[in-house]
Structure 1
């Protein structure tokens, strides 16, 4: 029973729940960025440079063929286009995170620091003053 209660205490901490929410939102944001890059950004760029579909742009190292036993051997290729799409997605996500962190830092700086508590000397002097007034 001790391990279950420990796990429950761990899972119910605010930081763990905040992290879980962040991961879910991040995954959804990643899908949005993937769709943005694959369906909106890359097609016009491909059209501008001659109708290239970047997602199918590969560098073939060895063509597909048939081996001596008559079985099909798949081609060996490097997916340059998919790498470019992923790279652009990374840049967009990194820039979005940068903007969020920058905005949070700006908000954190604008809040004035709380007033410092008076020192013990000041508290003592105020007590003496108040007792003299009585």
Structure 2
């Protein structure tokens, strides 16, 4: 009989992490800038199509898109309105957002093959 079969191991073998299987890690420190992302939205029931504009941030090196920045130059994007019933927030519509800020920040258009990254060569100036 083998004496090693009955021994208790001194340490447990490490298992592979099930949390993150990311193969693509960034090799740079992301540098964020604000932008407007535009894409077409369609209502098939009423046969209407319109452009939607979102305020986002993106990495100026790799083009990865993130949510809105905390210290935004768009100060009137979400304005509190106080009424006798309480407080609610007025958010700028897509058209208002584009009309006010398309000349102050870059505008990118989202394609069908959008995967969370924007093509930095498609920058509308």
TM-score (norm 2): 0.25
TM-score (norm 1): 0.24
**Quick check: which has more Rg, 1 or 2?**
1
Higher relative contact order by CA 8 Å / sep ≥ 6: 1 or 2?
Answer: 2
Give the number of the structure whose residues are more often strand, by fraction: 2
